[in-house]
Amino acid sequence: MLLKTRFSLYLKILLTGAALVLLGSIFLFSSSSIYGISRTGNPAYYFIKHLVWLLLGLLGILLINRKDVQFFEKYSFYVFLFSLILLPLPKFLGDLRWIRLGPLSFQPSELVKFTFILYMASYFKRKQSVIKNFSTLIVPLGFFLLITGILQIQKDIGTFFIVFFTFLLMVFLAGAKIKHILIIMLLGLILIGGLVIMFPYRIQRVKTFFNPSSDTQGSGYQTIQSLIAIGSGGITGKGLGSGERKLKFLPEAHKDYIYAVVGEEMGFLGTSFILVLFIFLVFSCFAISNITSDTYLKFLSAGIGGLFGFQFLLHAYVVLKIVPAKGTTLPFFSVGGSSLLINLLTLGLLLNIARKVCTEENREKPDIPYLSIH
């Protein structure tokens, strides 16, 4: 019965992931068609590019699932080191955040979010016996600060927040002392303040957050249009494809504000359904973490859950004006090939972990407390 319950969890992760990918593709086409027309005359321009990256991601999922998960533990540091080398390359190649690959482009910061989790899961497994010592946290903290420094060269504070909160989550799960976690949180708050002060446009965003109506045609424009889109959708929305704000009223509707498009076209029910899908995906990661006795898989699955969860929350919070505006994609939904690719690879690794954990028959573990899986 326990095996059946666990395999049911695996299937539900698979179906949830498939639903997010399908819905993401639908809303990407809906939100990006006007941008495709204005750029090339083809309403499917961004959707076709999305399909190319989607196919690459599905191929990546197949390749990942042919490998034993221990393979990723063995090479986690080298993969992370490779992503660190890639991270500053756009600046040297004359771009801000992207490496151009012909008609395609790749954003290394998307990769480093994923590989940092791989590395931390391996590191914290090896350091379990000394995790209570603050010195044990120095190495991953140093890597985090290095990532932060490079991201600020690229003026990317959204990725910083995702990496920071995922880092905090994994430090907590690893069993570090609460006082050490509080010290890191305090340092993080000081760092956030410094990163905001460092760039005047970020100070302006904070001011606009508290009073968006002070500059309705400038810095407050996106926030106001986002709230109009969400509010005008009501309970059931205006209908798929019938949104008006995406028609150049809401800038970056196919990227940083695609959740607002969902709200306008599918209403409260639509945004709630997507919220539920992400909740299930995230808590399923924690359920997998609870089941497995492998420390690496325990940390890795929880880290993946945190990564998906924090990305969704940050995007939704910006759209709903809970936090100041910043560029953050919605996993599986927003335009962005590298974002889609890395999120698909992350999902593929989660499925690999779930298959391994959920189909092991001779493991005496309690039932899953996080969700009703039956």
Q: Which two tokens stand for residue 346?
A: 């992350």
- Residue 123 in this model has a pLDDT that exceeds 50: yes
- Residue 181 in this model has a pLDDT that exceeds 80: yes
Contact 311, 162 (CB under 8 A): yes
The one-character DSSP state at 129 is G
pLDDT of 183-216, one tens digit each? 999 999 999 989 888 888 888 888 877 777 666 6
CA distance 230 to 237: 9
Q: What is the mean pLDDT of the chain?
A: 87
pLDDT band at 373 (very low <50, low <70, confident <90, very high): very low
Contact 17, 349 (CB under 8 A): no
- C-alpha pair distances (Å), 20 with each of 75, 106, 115, 306, 333: 29, 22, 22, 17, 8
- pLDDT score for 203: 84
The one-character DSSP state at 182 is H
Q: How many CB atoms lie within 10 A of CB 237?
A: 21
Enter the pTM of the model: 0.90
pLDDT of 267-311, one tens digit each? 999 999 999 999 999 999 999 999 888 999 999 999 999 999 999
